Amino acid sequence: MAHVVIAGAGVTGLTLAYLLAQRGIEVTLVEAATQFDRVFRGEGLMPGGIQALEQMDLLKLLQELPTQQIHTWEFVVNDRAFLQAREPEELGIYRPTLISQPLFLEALLKRAQTFPCFHFKHGTVQGLNHESDRPDARVSGVVVRQAGQEVTLTADLVIGADGRKSAVRRLADLPLEKLDYDADVLWLRMAAPLPESDRHTFYGFIREAESLGAYTAWDNSLKMAYILPREQLSQEQPLAQKQRQDWKAIDWANRIAKIAPPSFAQHIRAHADTLDSPVLLNVMLARCPQWYRPGVLLLGDAAHPMAPIRAQGINVALRDVIVAVNHLQPILQTETEVNLGAIDSALQNIQSERQPEIIRCQDLQRQEQDHATQLCRSPLLRQMLMLMSPVIRPFSGKVWMARQHQLRFGVRSVLLDPPVLS
Ligand SMILES: Cc1cc2nc3c(=O)[nH]c(=O)nc-3n(C[C@H](O)[C@H](O)[C@H](O)COP(=O)(O)OP(=O)(O)OC[C@H]3O[C@@H](n4cnc5c(N)ncnc54)[C@H](O)[C@@H]3O)c2cc1C
């Protein structure tokens, strides 16, 4: 029987392992972290991501967990609301939704563990084995470090779903091309929910050269992303230190409140004591020109790290998984000898099918960030926008929503083939 080893139990690795095991394919999932609740995991699902989960029959599992829907997007420059976009009500359960990724992963792991073909291992993938010593030899397994010991797992296919700093990518010598992206994110969480009427709104605030994204998360906390242009990060002394202890002197509540309009600012200042220490998240937007070598494939952030803007990472990763399963299922579901050549050809087809959407979404992410950066950099542009806001406001929401279509639903339709069980 075919055996697949997957490195990394994030959204990519765990959903893929789940679907393969559900189809009777032997799969071992290796995860380095001992708990899912790491400093940060993306938590925004777009309609296309929710549809992908529905196809995987995981929507019910998601609905059993705490979530928060976004109904409105509101963008404010220097206190002037210039754009309000409403999510169409008829989208219903497909409206953008904030989830707890750790809770989702925990629940999915439990469900996957009910399949006899699913095996979960704590450990760090730190080596690849090859069929022979030839430089172009096929990958035939991984070396996992677990509790100070090395374990070798043989595999017909190794999948690197180990995130943007992928060890599998490095070990397989698959280069990563970094794209220009101008901003990092300082992540802030405040245990003080907004009034009920504002809890389904995603806010974007710009004041002078600074910008802030804010939303009410699945646990009713207020989460805020203070966008830091890289220039600012390198110039401003305390921020450049990148160390939490150096940031203690900064009055964060006051600093972010200054960007928001008065009522929002008042909320932040009134609940300043509930603000957690900020976490700096370096944003990486990049992609591999080639996602595979014989015997090994990269998926999700390992193949194409996504930026946070318009919550793309989980969504495109879920769609990668669907395409990979469609191509791999017929080859791996075999009771005779596994056709390794057919697997390797499928890897190429998986990349060819997914790459156009990834390139398009990354380009759109850059465009969205560039618009915000231009507004922050140009007082003239901000002034013009403020003057024009009464004129453009009535239709800016519709125009914006139309521009977001591919970032919300994906570039092309991705449909999961039903499981064929022998
Ligand atoms: C600030 C910020 C905000 C974001 N917000 C969103 C959002 O709202 N919505 C969204 O869709 N996306 C968002 N993203 C992007 C999103 O988080 C990622 O694209 C997504 O998590 C990728 O999933 P993944 O499973 O491919 O990788 P990851 O989630 O990174 O998972 C990789 C897993 O592999 C494990 N691992 C690593 N190395 C090894 C190893 N050697 N051996 C074994 N295991 C290993 C890790 O512990 C981890 O569990 C955001 C990103 C950033 C930086």
C-alpha distances in Å from residue 164, one per residue of 103, 234, 309, 313, 369: 21, 23, 16, 11, 20
Q: In this model, does residue 229 exceed pLDDT 80?
A: no
List the CATH number of the domain containing 135. 3.50.50.60
Total domains present in the chain: 2
Q: What is the pLDDT of residue 389?
A: 87
How many whole angstroms separate alpha carbon 82 and alpha carbon 404? 17
Region 195-208: mean pLDDT is 93
Look at the chain and count its residues.
Answer: 422
Same domain for 112 and 239: no
Write out the residue range of the structural domain in which residue 229 sits.
183-282
Residues 117 and 37 in one domain: yes
Q: Which residues line ligand 1 (CB under 6 A)?
A: 7-13, 30-33, 41-44, 124-125, 161-163, 167, 185, 281, 283, 300-301, 306, 308, 311-315, 317
- Cα–Cα dist 243/279, whole Å: 9
Compute the average pLDDT of residues 183-207. 92
Place of tokens 């017929």: 330
Q: Is the pLDDT of residue 8 over 90?
A: yes
Segment 271-296 mean pLDDT: 93
pLDDT (0 to 100) of residue 385? 87
Per-residue pLDDT for 208 more than 60? yes
CA of 162 to the centre of ligand 1 (A): 8
What integer pLDDT is reported at residue 176 of this predicted model?
Answer: 98
The whole-number average pLDDT for the span 323-350 is 95
Domain end point (choices 266, 282, 298): 282
Please name the residue whose Cα sits nearest to atom 2 of ligand 1.
Answer: 308
* 130 CA distance to ligand 1 middle (Å): 27
The vertex-55 CA angle with 23 and 62, nearest 5°, equals 100
Identify which has the larger pLDDT, 41 or 405.
405
What pLDDT, in 10s, does the model give residues 261-281?
999 999 999 999 999 888 888
pLDDT at 391 over 60: yes
pLDDT attached to residue 130:
97
Say yes or no: 190 and 171 in one domain: no
State mean pLDDT over 379-388: 90
Residue 391 burial class via C-beta count within 10 angstroms: exposed 0-12, middle 13-18, buried 19 and up: exposed
pLDDT at residue 30 above 70? yes
Answer whether residue 32 is part of any domain. yes
Give residue 373's pLDDT. Answer: 87
What does the pLDDT read at residue 244? Answer: 56
| Sign of the CA dihedral with 298 first, then 304, 306, and 310 last | negative
- Lookup result for tokens 């160390």: 243
More confident residue, 21 or 419: 21
Q: What separation in Å is there between the alpha carbon of 208 and the centre of ligand 1?
A: 32
Give residue 416's Cα distance to chain centre: 20
pLDDT of residue 279: 86
Q: Are residues 203 and 327 in the same domain?
A: no
Q: For atom 12 of ligand 1, which residue has the closest CA? A: 313
What's the chain's average pLDDT? 93
Does residue 318 sit within a domain?
A: yes
Q: Is the pLDDT of residue 400 over 80?
A: yes
pLDDT of residue 240: 64
Please state, as a whole number, how many other Cβ atoms lie within 10 Å of the Cβ of residue 92.
10
Residue 128's pLDDT is 98
How far, in Å, CA of 378 to CA of 326, rounded?
A: 47
Q: Which residues contact 53 (CB under 8 A, 6 or more apart)?
A: 45, 59, 62, 318
Q: Are residues 146 and 260 in the same domain?
A: no
153, pLDDT greater than 60:
yes
Q: What pLDDT, on a 0 to 100 scale, did the predictor assign at position 293?
A: 98
Q: Indicate if 191 and 252 belong to the same structural domain.
A: yes
DSSP state of 271: T
The more confident residue out of 259 and 385 is: 259
Residues 239, 314 share a domain: no
Pair (226, 144) in one structural domain: no
In this structure, are residues 373 and 186 in contact, taking their beta carbons and an 8 Å threshold?
A: no
Closest Cα to atom 15, ligand 1: which residue? Answer: 313
Residue 113 sits in the same domain as residue 173: yes
384 within a domain of the structure (yes/no) = no
pLDDT of 140 above 60: yes
Looking at the fold, whether 202 and 339 belong to one and the same domain comes out as no
Q: How far apart are CA 312 and CA 404, in angstroms?
A: 12
Least confident of 99-108, 137-146, 278-287, 356-365: 278-287
Residue 355 has pLDDT above 70, yes or no: yes
Report which of 61, 71, 39 is spatially closest to residue 199, judged by C-alpha positions: 71
Q: Point out the domain boundary residue: 282, 301, 330.
A: 282
Rounded distance from Cα 77 to ligand 1 centre (Å): 31
Check pLDDT > 90 for residue 282.
Answer: no
Look at residues 371, 391, 417 and tell me which one is the last residue of a structural domain: 371
More reliable by pLDDT, 334 or 132: 132
Residue 241 has pLDDT above 70, yes or no: no
pLDDT for residue 394 is more than 90: no
Query: How remote is the CA of residue 328 from the centroid of ligand 1, in Å?
Result: 23
Residue among 186, 192, 31 nearest 121 (CA): 31
Q: Are residues 305 and 365 in the same domain?
A: yes
DSSP for residue 179: P
The answer to whether residue 273 sits within a structural domain is yes
Instruction: Tell me: do 199 and 347 sit in the same domain.
Output: no
Examine residue 161 and state whether it is found in any structural domain, yes or no. yes
CA angle 358, 375, 305 (to 5 degrees): 20
